[in-house]
Structure 1
Amino acid sequence: MNNAIRHTWVVSVALFVSLFAALSLIQVVFSDDLNSDSRNSRQTIADAGAPRGPITVDGTPIAESVPSDTTQYDYQRVYNEPELYSHLTGYFSVVQGRASEAGIEGALNEEISGHSDSQFFDRITALFTGETVMGAQVELTIDPELQRLAYDQIPNDQRGTIIVTDLRNGEIKAMMSKPSYDTNELAVHSSTEYQENMERLDEQEGLHVNYNVAVGRPIFPGSSFKLITALAMLESGDYELDTELDNPSSIDLPQSDRTLPNFAGGNCAQRSQAELNWIFAQSCNTPFAEAAMELGEESIQEAAEAYGWNEAMRIPVYVQPSRFPETTSDAELALSSIGQASVTATPLQMNMAAAAIGNGGTLMKPQLVDTVRGSDLQILSNPEPEVLNDVMDESTAGELNEMMVGVVEEGTGWRADSGRFQVAAKTGTAERGDDTGTYNSWITGFAPADDPQYAVTVVYEGIDLGTGTDLTGRQMLTMLEAVIDE
């Protein structure tokens, strides 16, 4: 009798293990092939209409799936306050059967859809219970009040970006770009409606629905790039803050028929020779160009790459690399040293440059996600602060900090001057290489200068000179005073 029971038990266990293995193979190994089979339309519809996990800010969903009984799909993806968050979330389209690549929907699609490795046992449990697998919840690092303030600051008729980060740990507190759009228009269940909406959005000037300009559109940084050239100069040992430099109104670029002038409307013409800190504050071009040609391309490129140029990363959304390419002549190197020629930067990259200086030379990896939680609210991942690079020593960071304070207190960044704390910043105005008469207008910096906490970057693309310099400085100050109030 005991042998019969034992044999029955062994056979039962074997059958259970076989069944478990078969289910595991179907769910894990073969699921992609089965789901992509064109004959499996029922599964395709079920997957596209499955309940994706919410994306939240301060515990409030900015993207969530709600039951739908009006179409063949079980759930409808809904975006709350989409104009504030469209570039951060991206969108999920049941018509396309996928998430857009630009935002969190695409970057963490496996987790949000419930298909990540860490959710394997949830899927197995659902097979036996018949329950619907819920996707993971993603909590962002964004401060909703700062995000709203950034949105309100950018005029609707301009192409602008504002970024606020905690430079001590890399957390992104606000990342807002305009033009923005309503992601709900691309989450519709009608293919006709989706196509009409996409075509209309594609026609809107300056709007990019498939990437976030803050991390995905490198543009000319102009004189804000002097943060990099200044680092190379200080680290060479040949320059100090009080080093006297020639400051001609223009220079002839070698191996070229071009000249490089200082900005005619600035204060650089007041002095034909000046100390480095004054030249930096007034953003004079010619001394930086001559220093770059003397130092050589390798020194400038090393400084740029220490800040993160020429390197892609994920935060977890993909960040396009800012570029400092090899130069072909001293003339190109001179232009590159002031953020022109072939040099490009994303708004996030310029924020990282300021943040590294404010953090005593240590660059923290920017991070957009606070936690990822399973459907049972257990933490699946919780990104820790991560040092991306030790860009410079603390003394060099202190010298750059002092130079940036001078920009605000006696130079081109005076609009960002605060009566409550010292602000450190660098401005930039970049020619765009077209005949529109417009510029890229930048400011990037941090505060308080004596105890740096937050880095702010404001940039406008294709804006007239006066409007750009006015908006960037004032808006940096507004964002800094708001975040340091907290």
Structure 2
Amino acid sequence: MNAPLRRVAISVLVLFTLLILNINYIQVVRSDELRDDRRNTRVLADEYSRERGSIVVDGQPIALSVPTDDRLKYLRQYPQGPLYAPVTGYYSVIYGATRMEQEANELLAGTDDRLFVRRISDLFTGRDPSGGDVVLTLDPAVQQAAMAGLEGQVGAVVALDPTTGAVLGLASTPTYDPNLLAGHDLDAVRDAADLLEAADPDPRTNQAIDERYSPGSIFKVIVAAAALEEGYTPETVVPAPRILQLPGTTTDLENFNGSACSESGEQPLIDALTISCNTAFAQLGIDLGEDAVRDMAEAFGIDGEGFSIPLEVEGSTVGDIENDAELGVSSIGQQDVQVTPMQAAMIAAAVANDGVLMKPYLVDQLLAPDLTVIDETDPEVFAEPVSEAIADQLTEMMASVVANGSGRAARISGVQVAGKTGTAENAGPDHNWFIGFAPADEPRIAVAVFVRNGGGTGGDVSAPIARRVIEAYLDGQEG
């Protein structure tokens, strides 16, 4: 073979080698990326050629697929769209899947490995393939009460079963109608998405798990726990001056509206929590030291690390503390302390459950298309931040907040409620918080209510919403 032919042969061989490598790269390395690309019309046609499984609450589908007469054979529908949108998300021809539609996509689409036998059976029997169902832990009455209570506000409600971690309510406002994003009229879908994107905040943001805020005085439960861990009791007398000059500064820290917590300038710890005395808890945090406060916060899960329920939850954090002045401000839930409403509910749930924090979970069961159970969630311990004895003391103190102090608006006739209010300063009107649980002696529900820039106090804005949510759940349990 002469030299020119040899060069041509080598060139052809190199080109064939590159072609084979490229084909393998596309089919192996980029296969998932290309399959998930919403511009891939073959994948879209395949997805919409089979019935997608349902997302179910209390036996009723809150997301389901119905047959159509157009090119895409099934249409995703959300019968109570805005009520459950913070949980379901949407399944869109253009924008893909979000929230539970995304997290459970393989099961819903029927491609989950656990449905392999079913797919083989479909192939041989000629049966139309379909996806499995996802059964959630949500309680409809809790979700409805939470969303109704937040109407017209930017905020969130999280309700947990403190003994298992099951998420009973996950509400976020403003909300939206996922049906508008799931339609087959692509121009209408794009118009709906543009309107949502232009809104402030975007209603597709889940305020309960995506965002974190200054917790204000609900963080005093953490500081109280740290004090009890160090040997304090609810009756231990602590300094509670009308004004506290922060160490190393000329800055004065005051109580709400500049009031005095006591005539003597000191009071029992339980009274300081009951009326939410800022100066008492700022000084208490300084006296305990940063390590004690931070360690207790981290024990409750405020460690900067996110987690999954399986929706992803943003991590909560104490933030940086450079000196005692910043420690004092952090101890009343300001400075750089930032928590999600989910994390706030977890604080209440841990106290309610004798100091044992259960891992929150949103999915109860996964069902095959024939409704047989293929998986279910077993409750799992997340952390054990305090002992049962300390949890009992915190319960006593939080019950006093509702019975005698800033949380009176959460009181329920015939039911002892334990809770803590929070009013957090920020660039705009104050944020308003309430965390609590009931019944205090045998807790069945723990809640956190957050209203962004509510402008009032946690006691007058968030506590009444918490009361409605707790009542809705307890009434349903009795029924």
Query: Which AA in structure 1 matches 2:461?
Result: L
Contact kept? 2:44, 2:93, Cα under 8 Å: no
Q: Secondary structure at the match of 2:422?
A: strand
d(CA) in 2 for partners of 1:462 and 1:29?
47
- Maintained 8 Å contact 1:187/1:194: yes
- Partner SS state of residue 208, structure 1: coil
On the 8 A contact 2:247/2:324 being kept in 1, the answer is yes
Deviation at 1:271, TM superposition (A): 4.6
1:89-238 alignment runs, 5 A limit: 89-96=88-95, 98-100=96-98, 103-155=99-151, 157-209=152-204, 211-237=205-231
1:346 paired with 2:340, answer: yes
- Structure 1 CA distance for aligned equivalents of residues 358 and 460 of structure 2: 30
> Offset at 1:254?
2.6
Q: Deviations over 1:394-447 (max 9, x none)?
A: 100000000001111111111112220211101000011x1x3x1111111111
Contact (CA 8 Å) 1:365, 1:385: kept in 2 or not?
yes
Deviations 1:220-278 (A, max 9, x none): 110001111111111112x2211111111222223444322111265625451111110
SS at match of 1:264: helix
- Corresponding residue to 1:396 among 390, 402, 411: 390
Show the counterpart of 2:269. Answer: 276
* 2:291 paired with 1:293: no
Contact 2:217 2:332 in 1 (8 A): yes
Aligned counterparts of 2:283 and 2:386: Cα–Cα separation in 1: 23
TM-superposed deviation, 1:33: 7.0
Change beyond 3 A, Cα 1:293–1:38: closer
User: What is the CA distance between 1:28 and its match in structure 2?
Assistant: 11
- Amino-acid identity (%): 39
Contact 2:348 2:436 in 1 (8 A): yes
Q: Give distance in 2, aligned partners of 1:342 and 1:404.
A: 24
1:398 partner letter: D
* Map of 1:87 onto structure 2: 86
Equivalent AA in structure 1 for residue 206 of structure 2: N
> CA offsets, 1:68-123, max 9 Å, x none?
213x2111110111111000101111113x212xx211111121112222122223
CA distance in 2, matches of 1:171, 1:40: 37
Work out the CA distance in 2 between the residues paired with 1:140 and 1:484: 19
Deviation at 1:471, TM superposition (A): 3.0
2:384 pairs with 1:385:
no
RMSD: 2.3
* Alpha-carbon distance between aligned partners in 1 of 2:135 and 2:38, rounded to the nearest angstrom: 35
Give the 3-state SS of the residue equivalent to 1:88 in structure 2: helix
Conserved in 1, the CA contact under 8 Å of 2:424 and 2:430? yes
**Would you say the 8 A contact 1:165–1:172 is kept in 2?**
yes
Tell me the SS of whatever aligns to 2:234: coil
Kept in 2, the 8 Å contact 1:49–1:94? The answer is no
- 1:45 touches 1:73 (CA, 8 Å); kept in 2? yes
Partner amino acid for 2:293?
A: I
Q: Paired residue for 1:362, among 356, 367, 371?
A: 356
Question: Could you tell me whether the CA contact under 8 Å between 2:181 and 2:193 is conserved in 1?
Answer: yes
1:244 corresponds in structure 2 to 237
* Rounded Cα–Cα distance in structure 2 between residues aligned with 1:36 and 1:273: 62
Given that residues 167 and 358 in structure 1 are in contact (C-alpha distance below 8 angstroms), is that contact kept between their aligned partners in structure 2?
Answer: yes
Q: Aligned-pair distance for 1:130?
A: 4.2
Are residues 1:472 and 2:462 paired? yes
Where in structure 2 are there 5+ consecutive unaligned residues? 1-26
Runs of at least 5 residues in structure 1 that lack an aligned partner in the other structure: 1-26
Query: What amino acid is the match of 2:141?
Result: E
Match of 1:453 among 441, 444, 448: 444
Within the alignment, does 1:407 sit opposite 2:398 as a pair? Answer: no
Question: 1 CA distance for matches of 2:46 and 2:397?
Answer: 59
Amino acid at match of 2:277: C
Cα distance, 1:114–1:258 mapped onto 2, change above 3 Å:
farther
SS at match of 1:463: coil
Report the Cα offset of residue 45 of structure 1: 2.5
Residue 458 of structure 1 aligns with an amino acid whose one-letter code is: V
8 Å contact kept, 1:307–1:363: yes
| Contact 1:305-1:311 at 8 Å conserved across structures | no
Paired residue secondary structure (2:227): helix
Q: TM-score, normalised by structure 1?
A: 0.87
